[in-house]
A and B are shown apart, each in its own frame.
Chain A
């Protein structure tokens, strides 16, 4: 440029943060969960992750070529979407399903609505729900053949996830839930790996504590109250199991915090998190289905514009708008 005075409208960004760096941080933060999934579930899980990322990137590339839009390949958002889709797949899923999910997530949910930042719904979750409705049999079959988990238990690994087992009234070992040596999707079982990734994102200031804390907090309190009322053997233990089992951890830290589909306003984020907790609680504890994290987040994604509208902060120094006098 070379000008001495640079004139530009606000906001005056003086940081070197850009989409690419943020997305790279998210990819790094998802690595522990991915590694845990590969170690636990074996080679097929690795194949699922590679294929879902590759097909997400490829569909983004092809779509932007066809529609002659500027390429957003290098901002890594497609990699994040693909990786999240892969982490949401059961370990022994037929390989065409994650590929179909990535194509749907990128092209229909993301690009049809205008590409990065314009999508009204988290592309990875949109794809997951699309697959869950279309291939409910394969998407809820959590049998494991390979990896540590498969080898340790041989053919005995049941297809039921901890949430199903909990719903039937059996208890689970909290330690195995925390480490992830239980049935579930590739990325959701190991709470430890997810929390390591989440801690990295928090340190890097990529995500804020408000949404995940409100989400998990509300859910915990509601489940605890229900466990006490329903008179379960050990309410605290049951609650902890519910918090660490299923997709709650992955959903709360990595999907509910998606920039484009969660509120920007601080109060809005609190409302969003609390509503997510309530919805997940309702889906899991009151309805028949064992899991409800993805549907809860998708529903709240749709309500995000409304939440933002009602929680917009007042500009400093501007008087409160007086209520207009009604027609006399």
Chain B
């Protein structure tokens, strides 16, 4: 197995773990919050999924930098300044900062949750959409729009399901 295949597989595993865990965390959070109070037993699935989210993030970052080194060592340095690659680094940076703010309770779950989900899905889409040909700022503008839409959508879902918290 060559290095590109190893990198691709590990990058996919990191993304799958992250996107999968964040999706289920959102689902369990909404289900737990439905009656207005979150019981300790309802938090358990979220607690179980969080290490997978962290593991996914670590694998994603390490394999991402594996790609960086691969491009550097094989003479494809121009790919490092690709707007899609730089935008993905920015999005992963947001995931890291948002994760820290959520863990230290410096940001409400109503805001931090959708930022996390939207960022993971954006990172996933940016990784998969190889033909995307937009400038860095256009990609980031679209990402900000997606994040705002995610926050708005969560508010609408909570209203529709009459979730008080």
Is the A/B pair a real complex?
Answer: no
